[in-house]
Amino acid sequence: MPSALTPATHRASVAIGGEEAAKRVVDVLTETFSEGPFLEHPAAIAAFERPDGRWDVTVHFADAPDQALVREVVGKAAGEAIAQGIGFDTVEAKDWVKASLEDLVPVPAGRFVVHGHHDRARVAPNKLGIEIEAALAFGTGHHGTTRGCLLLLDSVLKASRPRRVLDLGTGTGVLAIAAAKALRHHVLASDIDAPSVRVARENARLNKTGNLVQVIRATGFSAPQFATQGPFDLVLANILANPLRQLATPMAGHLAPSASVILSGLLSHQAPGVIAAYRARGLVPVHHLVIEGWSSLHLRYTR
């Protein structure tokens, strides 16, 4: 494997109380360091919600930043107390791809085992191996949401054999590949992101399901394939809480009677709101699985 040595970077990180404040901080940091007068000091900015509802905002700089300037920028968006809480450190140079692959041991989830190329031989003969390499797109099986979806998928497939299956927001394609391997028939997969579509297609071919998994680029349920290949007996959607709530109505319009829906990508405190949105469209919860603070839901369509 070629080296992917990432040079040392300088990091500024801070915890912020809520989503709106985090967005303001990200916007002002982006305006200052990615679009403003400091372009000679490139920065990568990310924000993630924690299980406790707070947000972590992290900025990686190629060069040591002006700490006073960073505090000033954050202080204008979130207040002086938040600005004084910023921590600065240095991230050592490292081959992150190599390190991530070394850490990614095979992950069992019911009959499925998600693994990298280096662990192909470690998959037991009675398991369905899904080969997904790290750092390609969202969904390597090691995140609680992906594993939760696979466990619920395994449970659903023990009780039924859905004919029309959709993986909405497929990422690496891991869920579509799992369904195709277990059912041995066609699965439709979609993603809004063009690189993810490409990666999912490559992974489907790698896992010898390229003839079964059809991957399309689509936003929501806008593509004609959803109408021509539905209504669906099973929908998998490992996305995020807000998009899942917004998709409740169009998804219900594409479901067959008694269809199963598996949802994930939501923190545990977000699950009640998502369940309420889908219950209002005729879907009732069957199973609620929590892994590492992340919720995965199995719902059944009753209309």
Q: Do 17 and 49 contact (CB within 8 A), yes or no?
A: no
* Domain range for 219: 138-301
Name the residue among 138, 120, 137 with its Cα closest to residue 129: 120
Q: CATH number, domain at 215?
A: 3.40.50.150
Residue 169 and residue 89 in one domain: no
In a domain, 119, yes or no: no
Query: Looking at the 3D structure of the chain, how many domains does it have?
Result: 2
**Mean pLDDT of all residues in 227-246:** 95
Residue 150 and residue 65 in one domain: no
Question: In the 8-state DSSP scheme, what is residue 270?
Answer: G
The predicted pLDDT at position 234 comes to 98
pLDDT band, very low/low/confident/very high, at 1 (cuts 50, 70, 90): very low
Residue 159 and residue 78 in one domain: no
Q: CATH number, domain at 63?
A: 3.30.70.100
Mean pLDDT of the chain, nearest integer: 86
d(CA 303, CA 289): 24
Q: Do 14 and 54 contact (CB within 8 A), yes or no?
A: no
Distances (CA, A) of 27 to 11, 156, 238, 242, 274: 18, 42, 26, 20, 27
The predicted pLDDT at position 178 comes to 97
Residue 143 and residue 30 in one domain: no
pLDDT digits (tens, 9 = 90+) for 189-220: 999 988 889 989 999 999 999 999 999 999 99
pLDDT band, very low/low/confident/very high, at 7 (cuts 50, 70, 90): low
Residue 89 and residue 148 in one domain: no
d(CA 185, CA 211): 9
Q: Which one of 96, 118, 150 terminates a domain?
A: 96
The radius of gyration computed from the CA coordinates of the chain, to the nearest angstrom, equals 21
- What region does 173 belong to: left with phi over 0, alpha with psi -120 to 50, or beta? left
Answer yes or no: is pLDDT of 60 > 90.
Answer: no
**Mean pLDDT of all residues in 252-256:** 98
Query: Would you report the helix, strand and coil content of the chain in percent, each value rounded to 5?
Result: 40, 30, 30
Give residue 228's identity as a one-letter amino acid code. Answer: T
In a domain, 10, yes or no: yes
Residue 177 and residue 264 in one domain: yes
In a domain, 111, yes or no: no
Residue 149 and residue 294 in one domain: yes
Taking the alpha carbons at both ends of the chain, their separation in whole angstroms is: 51
The residues that bridge with 15 in the sheet, in sequence order, are: 56
d(CA 214, CA 147): 22
The predicted pLDDT at position 45 comes to 82
Distances (CA, A) of 183 to 138, 152, 247, 260, 286: 23, 15, 26, 15, 21
pLDDT digits (tens, 9 = 90+) for 140-195: 455 788 899 999 999 999 999 999 999 999 988 999 999 999 999 999 999 998 88
In a domain, 109, yes or no: no
Residue 145 and residue 43 in one domain: no
pTM of the model: 0.69
Q: Do 167 and 175 contact (CB within 8 A), yes or no?
A: yes
Name the residue among 240, 208, 213 with its Cα closest to residue 225: 213
- In SS3 terms, 200-244 reads as HHHHHHHCCCCCCEEEEECCCCCCHHHHHHCCEEEEEEECCHHHH
Answer yes or no: is pLDDT of 136 > 50.
Answer: no
pLDDT top residue among 121 and 299? 299
Residue 87 and residue 10 in one domain: yes
